[in-house]
Every structure is written in C-alpha cells, then in structure tokens.
Amino acid sequence: ISTGFEVAAAISPMSTYNTEDVMAFDLDKRACYMESENILEYHANYSISKCKIECQTRTVLAKCACRPYCNAG
C-alpha cells in the first residue's frame, strides 16, 4: 500500500468446536486435544495458544538445548 492510500478489510470471526465424540478418534487423526487431556508441561490449563507455545518450546529445546526465558520452568 502506497502512502496516501487506504484499504478496508472485513473480518468475520469463525468459531469451531468439537464434542466428546471426537475422542473416539486417535490423536493422529483428530490432531487436537480435549481440555480433559491436559498434556501441557508448563501450563495448568489447556488452550490452543498455550499448546502452540509449548510445542514451539519443545522444538527449540530439542534443537538448541535451551528455552525462552518466559518458559524457564
């Protein structure tokens, strides 16, 4: 976008959810965890954003043998 121009964009949120029925599928197939399957090491409560942070932390730890200071625990 050049100086002096503006752009308008419409953003519509999309919500997705699942039921306990998905637990019948293997984790490899469903690619998500239920709150009752708390697999997080550094956070007490599950959320998708916390899960992504922990996944990134595990990857960096495996490759670099260090972790971000915010995950020093």
Assigned token pair, 34: 């239920």
User: Of 28, 29, 46, nearest to 37 (Cα)?
Assistant: 46
pTM of the model: 0.50
Q: Convert the pLDDT of each residue in 31-63 to its tens digit.
A: 777 777 767 888 888 887 888 888 888 888 899
Burial 34-54 (b: 16+ CB within 10 A, else e): eeeeeebeeeeebeeeebebb
User: Of 22, 39, 18, nearest to 30 (Cα)?
Assistant: 22
In this predicted structure, the answer to whether residue 12 has a pLDDT above a threshold of 90 is yes
